Amino acid sequence: MRKSGVVSKDVKGKDNEVYHDIISLFKIYRSVNWKMQIKINQVKQCFHTEYGTDVDEFLDSVYQAGMDINLDMEDMRERIESINQANKYLKLIDEAVELMRKYHPQGEKYYWVLYYTYMSAYRAENTDEILDKLEPHFPRIPRMHRATYFRWRDKAFEAVSNILWGKKKKNQQILKQVNQNYQE
């Protein structure tokens, strides 16, 4: 497949970079998250209107009764699967950010930079507003310099990108070494 979201060996150079564009991914994070919350709420409301109960309560009762819900809910299946797929991508990003926060030596700093810049529900108007929000998290820094903020943001992108897609060259070396060890 070419340029459909699946990286192919045929796609090289600049075209392949689109698949691993961490900056673009974070730029749409807030918007996608917002739309996901709206869609989830709409499905819940539609479900409550149609069945008169909460989705989780309904599923529990259906499973306890041994009923097959596939026939009754065919119209909602595609919407729910679409929401579920997008939600998985958001969780993947969230998990990568949490891993960075927990295990990277500078993870806490980088986390707050990404959080206030891209992940919080509130979108800051400008960099100075982000710096204001970061200030309480770094009491030993009287006022973070803009250059420091941008440097930390770039390092955070790099750390999360490495978690999501790995270091290709290093992974290839490890794979080659493992193959050599197990072929003997």
Please report the pLDDT score of residue 54 as a whole number. Answer: 73
Say what the pTM is: 0.67
User: Is the confidence at residue 25, as pLDDT, over 90?
Assistant: no
**Angle (nearest 5°) at CA 29 between 142 and 128:** 25
Phi-psi region of 3 (alpha: psi -120 to 50; beta: other; left: phi over 0): left
User: Is the confidence at residue 99, as pLDDT, over 50?
Assistant: yes
Cβ–Cβ under 8 Å, residues 100 and 110: yes
Please report the pLDDT score of residue 115 as a whole number. Answer: 96
Q: What are 165's two structure tokens?
A: 């897609």
Would you tell me how many other CB atoms lie within 10 Å of the CB of residue 24? 10
User: Is the confidence at residue 149, as pLDDT, over 90?
Assistant: yes
